[in-house]
Every structure is written in structure tokens, then in C-alpha cells.
Amino acid sequence: MISYLETQVPLSLQESYDNSGLQLGDSDQECRGVLLAIDITEEVLREAVELGCNAVFTHHPLLFHSLRRITTETYIERCVAFALKHDLVIYSSHTCLDNSPLGPNAYWASKMGLREVRVLDPKPDFYCKVVTYAPRQDADAIRAALSEAGAGRQGEYSGCSFSVDGEGRFTPSAEAHPHCGTPCRSHVEPESCISVLVDKGRLGSVLSALRKAHPYEEPAIDVLPVSYRSSELGSGIVGDLPQPMTLEEIVDKMSDFQPVEQVCHSRYDGRAVRRVAFCSGSGAFLYQMAGRMGAELFLTGEAKYNDFYDAADYTVLATYGHYESELMTQNILGEILSEKIGTFALHYSVNSANPVNYLERSNGKK
């Protein structure tokens, strides 16, 4: 199940500071049920045990930093101890999901009906080029193996590759066992050069599949860096609404698929906007890019005080809570995993809770 999720949301998409992936537990055990949540808390873990689940999948990682001890002093240590005691598997898909075309930003854009959608900050250095050389009669089998391993995927296209025919020259040693040619004699073989684009998260499995399918004892394989930025992978998203809407109308529409209790915003004159940008969580670092891409409004989970001043030169900045902007990740992970295991073993936590609490005064004073 974890392997399937990582083919859909590769760990290589995560940011350098992140710790997405398997947090703890034996991932080889049989899965009896999965509880989906935003964060790992003691309440969430107890809920998993009560439901008979032995796996908890979250958006935010439990472990961002290494632990020097496991006691009862902090909630993180208590959660680790509880999970180990009850043989739970904990897995998190954080910024790799954020940067994915299956993640919360793309989900938000789809729910809002955005058109002409683009990523605000495409992720660099995600792809490499794998090149190999093989006898022409084996080229189709190798291309098929590469495609099956996930190489050659570009947007809505799969099995993408480029080939050119040429001649390979080599001299096998006396100890070699050549697929073609004779030991100690120079040989010329009609070959195809095959090149495919590979995301780095799949590189290991692609190279393994390539070596398994290749007939040569010592196949020639090149792995080359590629300065290619996909328009679908990266932070934030920008696009055009079907029709101009005011901030209030946008918030009303957002409330149909995620909780929106209060909105903070920079200076705003009340006019309707068409091009909007969004980044779940802590996305305020993108407001300048949103403005440069023509966004009249940029929504995110949270921002710093001065961001509301500084953003005024670029766009209208609006925030409505980190937790609120990422609650949809439970549904997203559920939709992805249901493709593999169905829905019978999936549960959505009722104990996912916003760690930020608000004091509401009832005496009418402001």
C-alpha cells in the first residue's frame, strides 16, 4: 500500500526540510485498516486502536527531528511509545503531496473550477534522463520494461521515449559471456539508443527494471541531469475563475468543501477578481510570485504580520488558517488509497483537531 502511494506521490517531491514517508512501524505486516488524519496525536492513535486499524496515514509528519530518548515528557515521545506498543505503522505525506498534481492545491483549483491552471513555483531538479544502448531486436522489450517501471511519463502521456539507431562496438574479454559477439574479438552490433525522462523518485526502480530487461552482461546506461520544470509539479497554483467573484463570494464557495471560519486579508477594495492563486498551509512566501503571474487575490493558510503590508504591492493576501486549508488532505489521501484497497479498510479520523484555539468574547466588546 505504501509502495502504491509512493508511485502516485513520490517522496522525491518533498522539500529538503521535510520528513515525509514511513515514520515508524513494520510496513511488511498485513494491513487491517487505515486511519486518515492531518496530524498524529494521542487521541488519533487511540482512535486507530479502537477501530482495529494498524496503520495511520497523515499529512503532517510526527517526526521532524531526531529523538534522543522516548519517555512520557512530550506528546511526540508519548505517541512514539504508544505506536510501538500497539504495533502501529505511521506514514506521512507532507510536502510531497503539496507539490503533487494530486495534492491540495490542485484539489482546491478543481473545486473552484479554475481554468488555465499553472503551478506558481515549479519544482526544479525533479527529473533526469536515462539513456541506454541495446540490440535493435531487443529495443521494444526494453522500452516496455522502462514504461512499466514508470519511466517516460510526461503530463497525460506515458511510455514516452526517443530512439535513434547506430552501431555499438566492443571487444569481450576471455572471461566475458557476451549476448552477441565472440570473446577476444572486436564486434559491431546494430543498436538502438533509447532515452527516457525519469522522475528521481522512480530512478532506482527504473534502473533495476532496465538491467533486468537488458540482454547485455554489462549494459551501457547513462543518467543525465535535466533542467526541466514541469508545469504540474511544485508549490501553489494559479488560474482563472469561471467568472469574476468578490472575496466574500470566493469564501462562500470554498466553504462548500472545506471549513472557513474567519478570513484575514490585506487592503482590499471589495472589487470582483478573476485570476486567483492558492497555496495550502504556510504559503505566504509565494505572494510575490502570485502577483507577478497576474493573481488579483492570493489565498493561503497563514502569513506573518508584515506580509500583509508587503503583499499590497503585488496582490491581495488572504489567510484562513493552516489547519483549515489542509483538512482536505484527509480526503485526498483517502481517494488515492481507495484506488488500491477500496474503501472497506479506510477510516477518517473524528479526532483531527485544530491545535489553534480561539477565545470568543460574548460581552459585546471589541
How many distinct structural domains can be found in the chain?
A: 3
33 in any annotated domain: yes
Statement to judge: residues 286 and 237 lie in one domain: yes
- Look at residue 358 in the predicted model and tell me its pLDDT: 84
Per residue in 122-162, pLDDT tens? 988 788 999 999 999 999 999 999 999 989 988 778 999 99
Statement to judge: residues 218 and 193 lie in one domain: yes
Q: What is the mean pLDDT of residues 321-345?
A: 90
Q: Which domain holds residue 192?
A: 127-225
360 in any annotated domain: no
The answer to whether 348 and 36 have CB atoms below 8 angstroms apart is yes
Statement to judge: residues 296 and 332 lie in one domain: no
Task: Report residue 282 as a C-alpha cell.
Answer: 504556510
Q: How confident is the model at residue 3 (pLDDT cuts 50, 70, 90)?
A: confident
Fill in the amino acid letter for 204.
Answer: G
For 100, 103, 195, 290, 333, the CA distances from 10, given in Å and listed in that order, are: 8, 12, 21, 26, 13
Task: Report residue 330 as a C-alpha cell.
Answer: 484527509
Q: What is the mean pLDDT of residues 12-18?
A: 91
Taking 80 as the threshold, does the pLDDT of residue 297 lie above it?
A: yes
Statement to judge: residues 77 and 197 lie in one domain: no
356 in any annotated domain: no
Per residue in 157-193, pLDDT tens? 899 999 999 999 999 999 999 999 999 999 999 999 9
Residue 115, phi then psi, degrees to nearest 5: -120, 160
- Look at residue 363 in the predicted model and tell me its pLDDT: 63
Q: How confident is the model at residue 359 (pLDDT cuts 50, 70, 90)?
A: confident
Q: How confident is the model at residue 33 (pLDDT cuts 50, 70, 90)?
A: very high
Statement to judge: residues 314 and 261 lie in one domain: yes
Per residue in 220-264, pLDDT tens? 999 999 887 777 889 999 999 999 999 999 999 999 999 898 999
Statement to judge: residues 189 and 308 lie in one domain: no
362 in any annotated domain: no
Query: Is residue 309 classed as helix, strand or coil in its secondary structure?
Result: helix
Per residue in 259-282, pLDDT tens? 898 999 999 999 999 999 999 999
Helix locations, the chain, DSSP H: 2-8, 42-51, 75-85, 95-98, 104-112, 139-148, 203-213, 247-254, 287-292, 305-310, 322-326, 329-341
Q: How confident is the model at residue 342 (pLDDT cuts 50, 70, 90)?
A: confident
CATH number for the domain including 172? 3.30.70.120
Which residue carries 526517443 as its cell? 162
Give CA 278 to chain center in angstroms: 16
Statement to judge: residues 139 and 192 lie in one domain: yes
Distance CA 142, CA 129 (A): 15
- Look at residue 155 in the predicted model and tell me its pLDDT: 74
Statement to judge: residues 294 and 342 lie in one domain: no
Taking 90 as the threshold, does the pLDDT of residue 21 lie above it?
A: yes
Statement to judge: residues 110 and 251 lie in one domain: yes
361 in any annotated domain: no
- Look at residue 156 in the predicted model and tell me its pLDDT: 78
Statement to judge: residues 161 and 23 lie in one domain: no
CATH number for the domain including 67? 3.40.1390.30
Statement to judge: residues 212 and 236 lie in one domain: no
